[in-house]
Chain A
């Protein structure tokens, strides 16, 4: 078993007085796609935000690429190679597609890495190529989702935290997202996918963790989760 790229253990997070995550832990290896599964409000988004340092009160150990990032500032975490694609996309609506990509751009971490350029990303997201001079606010929901991922890739991350990419977009875009993720995986980027949509997660993920009420209730391969009907019924189905 290779060394974990991202290792989270004993993670607790709070919003004001509300305790949201309880000693949560999981691991991601380089190049792996890991799904965090759970219903609305299970704590998936909070987990990803805590890792990025976007939650004020959090405790626990978070290690990324050998560095302790549990007390690091958000921009330092991002610069280490941890990309974050938020659930609500948070596109800069006043900026053009190219300008959005510019904000995400960071120098490559080492010379061997193939860096992402707008042109390379437009191959992966042809829709965006046509809209490159359009402002973010004029894009469709699906295009905004693509742009949000592309913008994060401009930072040449080693791992992407992808928060519910299938939420609120048309089925045809969901299929495109799946293709895109498979293509991404082939470039060697690891992905943590927070999802409620099991069929979508099954298409792309190697392993899965199931989260319920801020705690990990299951961990195993995606295959094991798919085959376990009791588990699905208890934690995933509505």
Chain B
């Protein structure tokens, strides 16, 4: 590789950094003021590029028209952002943080289908800006002039934001609200206006990023997830709420990616290392390193104690007689299901899927609810279990039964390593680190063709003959699922479970009375990883094949939705939530092409109507019914 090539790649990286910064700055601003982690931010970016495409193809013929179209696209997205804030988010500011996340996640589903409906599924290649269609030659290598423009736009927006935040009353209020919203209100400032405007600005920045990115990458339906993943990483690396931090982090990550591409295939001590493949994980590795060394990000500040606005959670209680009877009835119904519905029937197959989902959700709930550790990358342990079992079965020639036993061990080992890092953080940062590890696992699986089959995955992962019928496999799944649930329940009502809840409620006080907070959380993490590994192993043998999709972000998010839907405060919650979610997904997906939007609407409805989750709400209703006020 020549120095010239490296230089051009680095310039290319700078151009990429600009759009990355725009999305991340918006996300950071919104989080700083509203404390909402806006999962829909990637969708706003995607909307920006689609709207820009439509506007540019109509009025973008001239230089003026082109840039007007870009700005107009940003304004449109800002307006959409304002509407989202007014119609949805305003109602849930007092809800637990995870519910807000769930609601914004539902928005991503809706936006997906709206875009699919309006613009279709084809990638849309946007024209380059008039006047910037040529390339200049740097050391004999072509660099598009448009990229040069982008390199300038990034710092320009940073400068404008800085002026806005330091030189205007609005900016001063925003910075004050970032620190103490209640005090700002007590000084006579209407927060609603402030929140709406900040959300609109953040959305507008994402939209601008999308519009500016159009000439570099065609508008496509996968942009939202990539954009939100990148933006989260940048914000966390830079420090939540810090705009200059977002800029610095965007530069860092874009340049490291550019460097990886420039390095190409390198031989090192006899090993061939393919750096371009590393780009998929580079940002997550950077994030993991930064979070471990400097948990509050490069330019962020250690978070003070956040003024709690949520309600104090009631302690979990053992199931009452009523619930026990319902549980026994459900179990009895499940035992006869294959006999009634037919051993090979669709109901039995669906029931296996649901039971696997229940175990997955229960293990996630274990660390999220009683553990207080919000894992955004729970798919990692599911995937480790699935791939571990499949590889031991196929490559190592292990009998299926033994491979299945190994699944929790593989999940457990993954959790042992990742958990060691994760439990040193808390809150959003912990969530992001779990996500980073899941992405690292995903990209290793995705790229290690020789071992994992890459994107093709592994096929022919079938259970032993005695489990070959769906009915037999159903009974195996049911047994392991029930055993897993009972184990979790036993642990939660054991001294260890109490210790874990104590750590969740106050790590400091728990430490002070001799509970090693970090050790307890680590153990909890590992237990959850092991149970999740069982679910992964069961999944692999029930499908007969697995692919990297098993570890995708969307599986982690599905898990979150299941847990939150059911309610985090009860043990029945994840069970009710996962069953509801999977049946909903199954039935809605068969009804309509636009099942994502429908699912999104259902989630938003549930968030607004059941702010404590389904099981949580039913519990508090029944409490009210039993105890007259």
Interface on A for B, CB 8 Å cutoff? 16, 52, 54, 73-75, 78-79, 84, 86, 90, 92-95, 99-100, 102-106, 151-152, 154-155
Contacts and interface: CB of A to CB of B under 8 A. Distances in A.
B186 A103 contact: no
B188 A90 contact: no
Given A75-B187, A104-B187, 19 more contacts: A54-B186, A74-B182, A75-B185, A75-B190, A75-B191, A78-B186, A84-B186, A84-B187, A86-B183, A90-B180, A92-B176, A94-B179, A95-B172, A95-B176, A100-B176, A102-B172, A103-B173, A106-B188, A151-B187
B555 interface: no
Interface residues of B, number: 20
B92 to A, nearest CB: 16
B391 interface: no
Nearest to A155: B188
A155 B188 CA distance: 8
A16 B308 CA distance: 12
A81 B173 CA distance: 19
Interface in B179-223: 179-180, 182-191
B28 to A, nearest CB: 15
Given A99-B172, A102-B172, A92 B189 contact: no
Which 5 residue pairs of A and B lie closest in terms of their CB atoms, listed nearest first?
A78-B188, A74-B185, A90-B183, A103-B176, A79-B188
A12 B145 CA distance: 67
B136 to A, nearest CB: 42
Nearest to A52: B186
Contacts, number: 62
A103 B182 contact: no
Q: Do most interface residues of chain B lie in helix, strand or loop, or is the interface mixed?
A: helix
A232 B261 CA distance: 78
A78 B182 CA distance: 12
Nearest to A136: B179
Contact of B179 (A75, A93, A152): A93
B50 to A, nearest CB: 37
27 contacts: A16-B311, A52-B186, A75-B185, A75-B186, A75-B187, A75-B188, A75-B189, A78-B186, A78-B188, A79-B188, A84-B187, A90-B180, A94-B179, A95-B175, A95-B179, A99-B176, A100-B176, A102-B169, A102-B172, A103-B176, A103-B184, A103-B187, A106-B187, A106-B188, A151-B187, A152-B187, A155-B188
Contacts of A92: 175-176, 179-180, 183
A54 B180 CA distance: 13
A154 B187 CA distance: 9
B272 interface: no
Contacts of A16: 311-312
Nearest to A98: B172
Interface in B327-354: none
B542 to A, nearest CB: 45
A75 B191 CA distance: 8
B504 to A, nearest CB: 17
Contacts of A52: 186
Contacts of B180: 90, 92
Nearest to A105: B169
Given A16-B311, A93-B179, A78 B187 contact: yes
B175 to A, nearest CB: 6
Interface centre among A52, A92, A95 (most CB of B within 10 A): A92
A15 to B, nearest CB: 9
A107 to B, nearest CB: 10
A200 to B, nearest CB: 23
Contacts of A54: 182, 186
A238 B622 CA distance: 46
B172 A103 contact: yes
A106 B176 CA distance: 15
Contacts of B191: 75
Contacts of A78: 185-188
Nearest to B180: A90
B186 A74 contact: yes
A92 B182 CA distance: 12
Nearest to A16: B312
A104 B187 CA distance: 5
Nearest to A103: B176
A86 B180 CA distance: 12
B148 to A, nearest CB: 35
Nearest to B190: A75
Contacts of A95: 172, 175-176, 179
Nearest to B309: A56
A151 B185 CA distance: 13
Contacts of B179: 92-95
Contacts of B188: 75, 78-79, 104, 106, 155
A140 B481 CA distance: 59
A75 to B, nearest CB: 5
Contacts of A84: 186-187
B166 to A, nearest CB: 8
A86 B182 CA distance: 11
B408 to A, nearest CB: 39
Nearest to B94: A56
Contacts of B183: 86, 90, 92
A94 B301 CA distance: 11
A103 B311 contact: no
B122 to A, nearest CB: 47
A94 B189 CA distance: 18
Nearest to B179: A92
A74 B186 CA distance: 6
Contacts of A106: 187-188
A93 B169 CA distance: 17
Contacts of A103: 172-173, 176, 184, 187, 189
B310 to A, nearest CB: 11
Nearest to B307: A90
Interface string B6-33: 0000000000000000000000000000
